Structure 1
Amino acid sequence: MSAKLAQAFIFARGGSKGVPRKNIKPLNGTPLIAYSIDCALSCPSLGHVVVSTDDNEIAEVSKLYGAEVPFMRPAILAGDSASEWHAWRHAVEAMENLGSPFEILVSLPTTSPFRAVEDVEACLMVLDQNPDVDVVITVRKAERSPYFNMVQVLPDGNAEIVCKSGEAFQRRQDVPEVFDITTVAYAVRTKLIKHANGLFEGKVRAVEVPAERALDIDTPYDFLVAELLAKHIDPNGSRKWQR
């Protein structure tokens, strides 16, 4: 795939509340956002590596680790209720206005620092081989099944299985296999971003990634787990973080 067709974007707003300043918080001594930047720079199928942020400090750290920050994200697209989809659309339009149009947006959220280059390249390969596919997401095997051991609590206080299939499943092995969407990578054709209102309005395929590369950092607990993993996992070999 031509590098001009696919570009990497890392969307990193400054107002994270679950883990304050999460996007540049050090993980094993390195700003979290640097892991996404490093992976993107290592992907042979990607062109520009762009960070979309509303925060000047995040912008400076991103440039230090090799990313471009050719535009700043408007505050209206960086609040707690702001839609990630609208931030994607803004990025597409901003790059077009700068004279750098492209066909595939690859979002690499900061919250998955253990992704591997092969995960990203696999998403792009699926798009390249399937012209009718609009989106490729990454997934991991779910630890619980909505057919078997996930419940919802009803307004009357009673609990019931989330998915009622009409069959009396007795074992986990008997239920349909389900997956959790991860934040490892999203590869999306820009034509869908410009004309639709969400991922699943398009034709979606999935690439499975192993659990150890799919950790999604959202809470202080997640960050503690990531600190432990970071000392033992490096999916792409030795990194050179010295700046």
Structure 2
Amino acid sequence: MSKTIAFVFARGGSKGLPGKNIKALCGKPLIQYSIDRALASEQIDDIYVSTDDANIAHVARECGAKVIDRPEELATDNSPEWLSWQHAINWVKQNDGSFKIFVSLPATSPLTAVVDVDSAISQLKQSGADICLSVTPSNHHPSFNMVTLDDERYASLMFNSENKVIRRQDAPKAYNITTCVYAATTDFVMQGKGLFDGKTTAIEVPRERAVDIDDIIDFKFAELLMTEQT
């Protein structure tokens, strides 16, 4: 039977919010929300945390995850996360055996629900796509809100075309990619180099669950939303 393995990729060197991956959010280390989500999903067979940090590794084990030691060269500010994905897949294959579906659950998205994770895995399987992203409706539509500036500071629409969209309701619906969940085939991750190198599908996540923590303002916002839900 083919396995589905979840991963949390958590570096120790966060600059926007130092120590954020294990910073206490409503009484729990931030990373625990992603681990708990994987443990609660009936579609996920195992959960690993890939990290270069001993403190994160300790917390991850305490929360019930297995740990992959990430090489220093894959844990810098400029390291492409895709390479960390490939490293984790190879590590699991060499140490615990092969699996078919790779799931990334970023620690910075604590409001993601188990239903979002399960939906992404199901959509990947049913669609026959290579990867499934999570998206949320965009606050600002690119047909009206995104411009470029030339050398003389004159503005023009970034997405300009002969078929101009005048009314907002006539514009095609736009979405932002979120960091809630990524589900992909291991073959695609190992052979590709980016999210859109193959057949990409997506699930829609409501805005209140699509919070990505990068700095203290994001952290406080997530804390507020969680407090209101209890």
Match of 1:158 in 2: 154
Match of 1:217 in 2: 213
Match of 2:109 in 1: 112
Match for residue 136 of structure 1 among 129, 132, 136? 132
SS in 1 for 2:145: coil
Superimposed CA distance per residue, residues 100-146 of structure 1 (whole angstroms, 9 cap, x where no aligned partner): 21111100001110111110111111122133x10000000000111
SS in 1 for 2:181: strand
CA–CA distance in structure 2, aligned partners of residues 151 and 123 of structure 1: 32
CA–CA distance in structure 1, aligned partners of residues 212 and 149 of structure 2: 26
Superimposed CA distance per residue, residues 148-198 of structure 1 (whole angstroms, 9 cap, x where no aligned partner): 122223333222212113233232111111100000100011101111111
Cα RMSD (Å): 1.3
1:96 aligned to 2:102? no
TM-score, normalising length from structure 1? 0.91
1:25 aligned to 2:23? yes
Question: Which amino acid is the alignment partner of residue 157 of structure 1?
Answer: R
Match of 2:82 in 1: 85
Match of 2:12 in 1: 14
Match of 1:43 in 2: 41
CA contact (8 A) 1:148 1:175 kept: no
More helix by share: 2
Question: Which amino acid is the alignment partner of residue 102 of structure 2?
Answer: L
CA–CA distance in structure 1, aligned partners of residues 150 and 8 of structure 2: 38
Identity %: 45
TM-score, normalising length from structure 2? 0.96
Match of 2:186 in 1: 190
SS in 1 for 2:83: helix
- Equivalences, count: 230
Question: Which amino acid is the alignment partner of residue 117 of structure 1?
Answer: V
Q: Which runs of 5+ in 1 are unaligned?
A: 235-243
SS in 2 for 1:183: coil
CA–CA distance in structure 2, aligned partners of residues 109 and 85 of structure 1: 13
1:173 aligned to 2:173? no
CA–CA distance in structure 1, aligned partners of residues 92 and 32 of structure 2: 22
Match of 2:121 in 1: 124
